[in-house]
Homo-oligomer: A and B are copies of this chain.
Amino acid sequence: MSASVPIAGNRFVIIGGASLVGSATAGELLDHGAAEVVLFDNFAFGSNAAIAHLQDHPRLKLVRGDVMRIAELLRVTEGAAGVLQLAAYMTLSMDRDPWGGLDVNIRGVQNVLEACRVNKVRKVVFASSNATYGYGPGVAGELVESTPFHSMGAPPAAILYGASKIIGEQLCRDAFRKWGQDYVVLRYSTVYGERQHYRAANALYIIETMDKVRRGEPPQVFGDGSETKHFVYVGDLARANRMAFESAATDVAVNTSGPEPITTLELVRLVTELAGGGPAPEFVGNDGKVRLTSGGAFRIAHEEAARTIGWTPEVTMREGLRRLIAWRDGNEAAAG
């Protein structure tokens, strides 16, 4: 039996849906004919701003609820063909509140899977992370799905986050083995794009750079600027989520990264150029903030996602940043 879940005519629930990825995926599923898309969120990290553009959509429903309250999940997943599990603490919030973070990232996933078991949800898509490859100098070269988890020397909260995502993935595998729960794990790169939030340490760097350039201040580059980042555009991820439901694949975990990695220096130059120019970057030392520095140059390989769910990223950093800057400019104009 194929694990394919067509979008048209089916009901989907997005846990942690009032978010950058959640709202983009909701739009993608609605555009492909979903009968209903439910955004389930406790608004701890989610926001009305992230979903304002969808709120009048006739097939979109917003449900306030919490992944830690399984009764709410049991109700919201009734009749759902697919569930996308996005709800998570990321590294910065894990640092502030590891008790809450481990609850949501581990028990939350167990609760979602249990609700899917009870309500016979056909497929779960679980948002994992390239944090499952860890941090530090060991993270170099091609990062493929079998790359191990490096943690030596990384901040505790970053390791807690990465390990909690490893556990979330394994809970999906366990559910597949124990009751045949079909699932696809997508290991997201750092997401950026319109309606960008301020939560993720790496994505925040784009916004900070943009803000500095706009204010006419020199953007900051840490170290020599050769450090690699490998982002993914939010629209590409929304498409990956949709294709993970549609594909026949199950019991797999694949990377979903953008077309190419970029160094921080290239990123700062590109943002400056797209913003219409600005001062040259300032090279600074470490300022003591939690920054998830990778050691060497790396690329997060997404070829397995092409083979498994037929997905390839399409939006280059240049195009994605252009859209992000245009959105922010429009947004600030509207607010001003």
Interface positions of A (Cβ within 8 A of B)? 98-99, 102, 106-107, 110, 134, 138, 145-146, 148-152, 156-157, 159-160, 163-164, 166-167, 170-171, 173-174, 177
Contacts A98-B110, A102-B107, A107-B102 hold; do A148 and B134 have CB atoms under 8 A apart? Answer: yes
Q: How far is the CB of A197 from chain B (nearest CB, A)?
A: 25
Q: Which of B134, B164, B177 makes the CB contact (< 8 A) with A167?
A: B164
Residue from B102, B148, B156, B174 in contact with A156 in the complex, judged by beta carbons closer than 8 Å = B174
A106–B102 CB distance below 8 A: yes
Task: A98-B174, A102-B107, A163-B170 are known; give 9 further A-B pairs, CB within 8 A.
Answer: A99-B107, A102-B106, A102-B110, A134-B149, A145-B152, A156-B170, A156-B171, A156-B174, A160-B174
Name the residue on B nearest A171 (C-beta): B98
Contacting residues, chain B, for A163 (C-beta < 8 A) = 163, 166-167, 170
| A148 proximity list for chain B (CB < 8 A) | 134, 138, 148-152
Shortest beta-carbon distance, A322 to chain B, in Å?
A: 37
A146-B154 Cα distance, complex, nearest whole Å: 11
A167, closest chain B residue (CB):
B163
Residues in B whose Cβ lies below 8 Å from that of A98: 110, 171, 174
Contact status of A167 and B110, CB under 8 A, knowing A146-B152, A148-B149, A174-B160 = no
Report how far A255 CA is from B270 CA in the complex, Å: 46
Chain B residue with Cβ nearest A150? B148
Residue of B with least CB distance to A157: B174
For the complex formed, measure the closest distance between the CB of A134 and the CB atoms of chain B, giving whole angstroms.
7
Contacts of A145 in B (CB 8 A): 152
A166 — which chain B residues lie within 8 A by C-beta?
149, 151, 159, 163
CA distance A167 to B162 in the complex (A): 9
**Cβ contacts under 8 Å, A160 to chain B:** 167, 170-171, 174
Question: A149's closest neighbor in chain B, by CB?
Answer: B149
A58 to chain B, nearest CB (A): 39
A117 to chain B, nearest CB (A): 13
Q: Which residues of the partner chain B approach A146 to less than 8 Å between Cβ atoms?
A: 138, 152
- Complex Cα gap A49–B46 (Å): 52
A170 CA to B153 CA in the complex, in Å?
Answer: 11
A166 to B98, CA, bound (A): 14
Q: List, sorted by A's number, 11 A–B pairs whose CB atoms are closer than 8 Å.
A: A98-B171, A138-B146, A146-B152, A148-B151, A149-B151, A151-B170, A156-B171, A156-B177, A157-B174, A164-B167, A167-B167
Residue of B nearest to A160 (CB): B170
Q: Which residues of B contact A138 (CB under 8 A)?
A: 146, 148
Contacts of A159 in B (CB 8 A): 166-167, 170
Give the chain B neighbours of A177 by CB distance below 8 A. Answer: 156
- Chain B residue nearest in CB terms to A145: B152
